[in-house]
Amino acid sequence: MSYDYIEFGETEKEFTSKIEEISGQNIFSCYQCGKCSAGCAFSNLMEKTINHTIQLVQLGKKEKVLQSNTHWVCASCLTCTVRCPREIDVAAVMEAIREYTLRYEPETIERLDLPEELLKKIPNIALVGSFRKKSEL
């Protein structure tokens, strides 16, 4: 049996407080009722339920949060936000996780990595946009 080690070191605290800062929400308000997951139209497509993700944010588990597709599947329909009994803007928390990924672990696109076939299909504007956002240049 392997145990997941819980620790509240600098890395964990930094992650939790950054998500709180970006979203403007008090993550510790969540008392894990699960209503956000229960009402989410895309729960079935998420690798971790929303409340699971929030619990991991409370514990500062950055790796686990970012590995999961949960925040990317979120469509920001705001159902969770409207229904949360603790008045947490859950969709804002999901958005904050997305933002965090972009700010701190940006994915880069290399022109040479793109297949020729794809380049022919992609609209010009999409290419320009993605290079602006995701290139190191």
Partner 1 sequence: MRIGVYVCECGKNISATVDTEKVAEYAKSLPNVASSRVYKYMCADPGQEIIKKDIEELKLDKVIVAACSPRMHEPTFRAVIEDKGLNPYTLEIVNIREQVSWVHDDKKKGTKKAKSLVKSSVMRSALMEPLDRKRVGVTHKALVIGAGIAGIQAALDIAGSGYQVTLVEKSSSIGGKMAQLDKTFPTLDCSACILSPKMVEVGRNPNITLIANAEVEQVDGYVGNFKVKIKKRPRYVIEDKCTMCDDCVPVCPVIVHDEYNENLSPRKAIYIAFPQAIPASYIIDPDDCLGIDPLICSKCKDVCGPEAIDFDMKPEIIEDEFGAIVVATGFETYPIENLGEYGAGNIPDVITGLEFERLISPGGPSTGDLRRPSDGKLIKNVVFIHCAGSRDPAKHLPYCSKICCMYSTKQALMFKNEVRDGTAVNFYIDIRTGGKDYEEFYQRAAEEAKVVYIRGKVSELIQDGAEILVKGVNTLTAETVELHADVVVLATGIIPSQGTKDIASVLRLSLGINGFIKEAHPKLKPVETSITGVFVAGCATGPKDIPETVSQAGRAAVRACNIIAQDEIEVEATIAHVDEILCRGCGICVGTCPYSAITLIDTKRFGNIYKVASVNEALCKGCGSCAAACLNSAINQFGFEDKQILAMIQALGEE
Q: Decide if residue 72 touches partner 1 (CB under 8 A).
A: no
Q: Decide if residue 56 touches partner 1 (CB under 8 A).
A: yes
Q: Decide if residue 58 touches partner 1 (CB under 8 A).
A: yes
The footprint of partner 1 on residues 74-103 (CB under 8 A) is 86
Q: Decide if residue 67 touches partner 1 (CB under 8 A).
A: no
User: What's the min distance (Å) between Cβ of 64 and partner 1?
Assistant: 8
Structure tokens at 34: 């699960």
Question: Judged by CB, which is closer to partner 1: 37, or 79?
Answer: 37
The footprint of partner 1 on residues 20-39 (CB under 8 A) is 26, 28-29, 31-32
Contacts of residue 62, defined as CB under 8 A and 6 or more positions apart, other chains included, come to: 11, 12, 15
Cα dist from 104 to 22, 73, 98, 107, 116, whole Å = 12, 20, 10, 9, 30
Q: How far apart are CA 19 and CA 72, in angstroms?
A: 15
Report the chain's C-alpha Rg in angstroms. 17
Question: Judged by CB, which is closer to partner 1: 47, or 110?
Answer: 47
User: What's the min distance (Å) between Cβ of 60 and partner 1?
Assistant: 10
How many residues form the binding site for partner 1 (CB under 8 A)? 20
Candidates 68, 67, 78, 84; CA nearest to 32 is 84
Q: Decide if residue 2 touches partner 1 (CB under 8 A).
A: yes
Candidates 70, 53, 71; CA nearest to 16 is 53
- Footprint on this chain of partner 1 (rule: CB under 8 A): 1-8, 26, 28-29, 31-32, 51-52, 55-56, 58-59, 86
